[in-house]
Amino acid sequence: MNILVIGLNHKTADIEVREKVAFDGPKLGEAAEIFKNSLEVKENVILSTCNRVEIYAVVRDIASGAGHIKKILSDYHQVPLDFIDKSLYVYSGRKALNHIFRVASSLDSMIVGEPQILGQLKDAFDFALQKKSSGVLLNKLMKKAISVAKRIRTETKIAENAVSISFAAVELAKKIFEDLSTKTFFLIGAGEMAELAARHLINNGVKDVFVANRTYERSVELAREFNGKVVEFDNFVQELIDADIVICSTGAPHYILVKEQMHKIMKQRKNSPMFIIDISVPRNIDPEINDIDNIYLYDIDDMDGVVEINIQERSKEAEKAERIIDAEVDTFLKWHTSLSAVPTIVSLRDKAEAIRKEELGITLRKLNGLKEEEIRAIEALTNSIVHKLIHFPTSALKSEAEDKDIMVDIVRRLFDLDISGGSESGNRRESETDEKES
């Protein structure tokens, strides 16, 4: 069984491509179902965020599995394969593990060290568990990825000064406005990233906070949380006259703000500068608005530039993190190879043989003065008992059953076979800490 990663991210694909293949809302469930029903893909977890769309899969054959997943991607989103193919990366084996661990620990993020991706990965995993689209391998892998990410967060300083887009947004706002304490902040829409950025800006002391959301109750909720005022979603454009910093993140599939409207607004606010961050995918604010004087519009891709600044500072910590990942990939691979039948059968036999010899020794020492023939007869007896007993598990392991991975895993656990035993207890510890944190 092979672990496969197919995906695209902010480095390989522009926002135009990413918005086309994103699995938002009900699409996620549909896609999980499609993958689950395909014969090639045995397990799948889908991670779809503003910055990346990735499919983690367990496939029988790497080449045909990859081709199959790509085809599903292009068919489902109704985009020609040529259009997305050059943006897609395919990793298998060691590289796939390495990639997944890097994603989870935010080393592959636009803003290295940002903490949101881990939450998003957990959500993706929970969703897969709920849909039963993941299995033994991916479950183990996802749990491992989450624990690796946590380990990196505690053992390196990578997350220390990176609070993702929000951090970058505040830095940039300070380069436009200097003093945020006289500025008005307007949050349009909601979403984890938008709210995090909002919280960060508010912590940096903006004067007023406005909140507009399509769902009125949600606006009220957010306004209460941020100590701000609710603005009716239908009237939000007019309220922009007083807004200096705007974060927009709605689920709208089209622009909710166009150039003409902003021209008027700017006239009314006497060209007072505005900093607008559109973190929605697809974009909600017409990118041409950036051409208007004194408006600085950044979409999620543009935030990439802000990140570059911090890259150097963090590269050292990132190196440390990469080393941790390498070691963890090794551990996981060890476990994964142990899942193949042959070494399991060998260790099962070894174990049985060891037990047999040990017990035989004890018995023979007790029964002094036996004849050579008698000793041989006892040995033959123990031999055949042991062989007959382990015949059933070994032949089951040798068969090409669908659920062989599960079987191997179970056999290793039932008979307490070396490697798997150790990592299993480690795994249990991880899930305990998981629960504590959530």
Partner 1 sequence: MQIEINNIFFESAIVFYLIASITGVVVLLKGKKAVSRLIIGLALAGFILHTAYIAVRYIEEGHFPASNLHDASSLFTWCIVVLFFVIEYRYKLGLLGSFIMPIVSVFMLSSSMLPIKINPSLDPMLNSYWFSIHTILAFLGDAAFAMAFGIGIMYLIQEKYVKSKHLSGLFQRLPSLQTLDEINYRLITLGFPLLTLAIITGVIWAKTVWGKSLQGDPKELWSFATWLIYALVLHLRLTVGWRGRKAAILSIIGFLIVIFTFFGVNLIFKGFHAFS
* Cβ closest to partner 1, residue 119 vs residue 305: 305
Which C-beta is closer to partner 1: that of 3 or that of 297?
Answer: 297
Rounded to a whole number of angstroms, the minimum distance from the CB of residue 16 to partner 1 is 16
If one asks whether residue 115 binds partner 1 (CB under 8 A), the answer comes out as no
With CB under 8 A as the contact rule, which of the stretches 58-66, 84-92, 295-303, 315-323 interacts with partner 1? 295-303
Which C-beta is closer to partner 1: that of 303 or that of 390?
A: 303
Give residue 324's identity as a one-letter amino acid code.
I
- 272 counts as binding partner 1 under rule CB under 8 A: yes
296 binds partner 1 (CB under 8 A): yes
Q: Are 165 and 199 in contact (CB under 8 A)?
A: no
Asked if 72 and 6 count as a contact pair (C-beta separation under 8 A), the reply is: no
CB atoms < 10 A from the CB of 17, how many? Answer: 18
H-type alpha helices, 112-250? 116-131, 136-155, 164-177, 192-203, 216-226, 236-239
**Footprint of partner 1 on 394-423 (CB under 8 A):** none
Beta carbon of residue 305, minimum distance to partner 1 (angstroms, whole number): 5
For partner 1, what does the binding mask look like between residues 30 and 69, x meaning CB under 8 A? ----------------------------------------
Interface with partner 1, residue 312, by CB under 8 A? no
Identified catalytic residue from 50, 100, 194, 209 = 50
Residue type, 223: A
Tokens in use for 129?
A: 């568990």
Give the integer Cα–Cα distance in Å for 249 and 262: 18
Which part of the chain contacts partner 1 (CB under 8 A), choosing from 81-89, 125-133, 264-272, 417-425?
264-272
Cα separation, 203 vs 198, in Å, equals 8
Part of the chain binding partner 1 (CB under 8 A), chosen from 33-41, 297-305, 369-377, 379-387: 297-305
Instruction: Give the CA-trace dihedral at 113, 114, 119, 121, to 10 degrees.
Output: -60
Are 241 and 208 contacting, i.e. CB atoms less than 8 angstroms apart?
A: no
The dihedral formed by the CA atoms of 322, 328, 332 and 333, expressed in degrees to the nearest 10: 60
- What SS3 class is residue 164? helix
Minimum CB distance to partner 1 smaller for 180 or for 222: 180
- 372 burial class (0-12, 13-18, 19+ CB within 10 angstroms)? exposed
Question: Would you call 248 a catalytic residue per the annotation?
Answer: no
Give 91's strand partners: 5
Residue with smaller CB distance to partner 1, 71 or 263: 263
Q: Given the complex with partner 1, which of 137 and 265 has the nearer CB atom?
A: 265
Are 245 and 183 spatial neighbours (Cβ–Cβ below 8 Å)? yes
Q: Does 241 bind partner 1 (CB under 8 A)?
A: no
And the tokens for 211? 């909140």
Q: What share of the chain is helix, strand, coil (3-state, %, to 5)?
A: 60, 15, 25
Q: Which of 67, 135, 251, 273 binds partner 1 (CB under 8 A)?
A: 273
With CB under 8 A as the contact rule, the residue among 309, 355, 380, 385 that binds partner 1 is 309
Which of 298, 317, 328, 390: binder of partner 1 (CB under 8 A)? 298
Piece of the chain touching partner 1 by CB under 8 A; list 294-302, 325-333, 344-352, 379-387: 294-302
Q: How far is the CB of 295 from partner 1 (least distance, A)?
A: 9
* Residues 43-66 as b or e (16 or more Cβ within 10 Å = b): bbbbbbbbbbbbbbbbbeebeebb
Contact 103, 18 (CB under 8 A): no
For partner 1, the closer of residues 161 and 363 by Cβ is: 161
Under rule CB under 8 A, residue 431 binds partner 1: no
Would you count residue 290 as binding partner 1 (CB under 8 A)? yes
Q: Which residue has the tokens 């991670």?
A: 47
By the rule CB under 8 A, 315 interacts with partner 1? no
Q: Which is nearer to partner 1, 215 or 271 (CB)?
A: 271
Distance between CA atoms of 58 and 44, rounded to whole angstroms? 7
| Alpha-carbon gap, residue 163 to 176, rounded angstroms | 19
By the rule CB under 8 A, 271 interacts with partner 1: yes
Tell me how many residues contact partner 1 (CB under 8 A): 23
d(CA 107, CA 159): 10
Question: Which string of x and - marks every residue 159-198 that binds partner 1 (by CB under 8 A)?
Answer: -------------x-xxxxxx-------------------
Stretch that binds partner 1, among 90-98, 100-108, 186-194, 270-278 (CB under 8 A): 270-278
- Would you please indicate which residues are annotated as catalytic (active-site) residues? 50
Query: Which residue ranges make up the site for partner 1 (CB under 8 A)?
Result: 172, 174-179, 267, 269-273, 290, 293-294, 296, 298, 302, 305-306, 308-309
